[in-house]
Amino acid sequence: MGTRSRTPARNRPRRSRRREEGENRPRLGLALGGGGARGYAHLGVLRALDRAGIPVDAVAGTSMGAVIGGAYAGGVDLTKLEEVLKRLDLNKLLGFPHSSVWGVLGNTAAELFTKLDWRRADPESTQALVEFFELFTRGQEFADLKIPFAVVTADIDTGEEVVLTEGSLGRAMAAGVAIPGIHYPVEIDGRFLVDGGLVNRVPADVAFSLLGADRVIAVDVSAELYTEEPTSSFEVLLQAESILLRELTRLQLALAKERYGDRLLILRPAVQHIKALSLEEVEGPARAGEIETERLLPEIRSWLEMSAWAL
């Protein structure tokens, strides 16, 4: 997975004012995982926590988790956000194909014959992606956010994890969803960054170590395997990728659980059957996130109360 590149301590987001003012409760962080349309489950998780009066003090997000987490940290109303997402053709706006893997293959093949020097200047498609997220985030920077927030990306040249907590929120989000083969890498501070799901699928460790959370709810929206019985060589390739990503997520969460123990709670909404590029499916995964969070609310409340006694 490569050596991780973290934001230097002097640049880390400030701790929540709640603890600075002496409120006797743990700082709760969320780690929102990547998974394309399955990541809409994060909307339901956040909505259920808000309705239950459980405040969130920090958010770390990968891929779609960065999109939903950034909007939440920026103070966007969750109900309005869901309505907007239902109306938008995100496949078109974000440059994702509608036709699942075959569309991706077509886009990738076309890119193989493109000679654009994307290291010298943003191609038009990258400019469009950044402009969309600048509009989506209302031009905010990380310093403007109500809640400390981090976007997880990967450096395409070194394989390092790069966690973004400064500068333009829109450009960071664009880098966070830049899928290799569909989007060009996005340049930030001289590094060319892509979707952080390559290196950290559910960034619980970022919420703990970089954002200073005492307790973290990690939301895993991983997929099922591509197919139960692959037949063609292409399906075998996709199946192999699915296995790799599933095992990466499982291993990272197991290591995080070993390291942080009962400070980490893993939440898995029932979205495994949803295809990553089915971005028109908002209500289903959002409702699944809400249902799973509501089911676990008694456990979450007890878990947070136990932590408060230890402060």
CB 81 within 8 A of CB 43: yes
The residue annotated as part of the active site, out of 57, 155, 195, 205, is 195
| Token pair listed for 103 | 């569309």
Residue 9's nearest CA partner among 163, 170, 238, 169 is: 163
Of 107, 47, 129, 114, the closest CA to residue 80 belongs to 47
Alpha-carbon distance of 300 to 121, in angstroms, equals: 47
Q: How far is the C-alpha of 69 from the C-alpha of 98, rounded, in Å?
A: 24
Look up residue 80 and give its two tokens: 């309005």
- Find out whether 118 and 126 touch, Cβ atoms under 8 Å: yes
Contact 5, 161 (CB under 8 A): yes
Q: Active site residue: 16, 63, 168, 278, which one?
A: 63
Angstrom distances, CA of residue 66 to CA of 95, 102, 267: 17, 26, 17
63 is catalytic: yes
Known active-site residue 117: no
Within 8 A by CB and 6+ apart from 293, the residues are: 44, 45, 48, 49, 267, 269, 300
Strands 215-219 and 264-267: what pairing? Answer: parallel
Query: CA angle 249-89-108, nearest 5°?
Result: 60
Active site residues: 63, 195
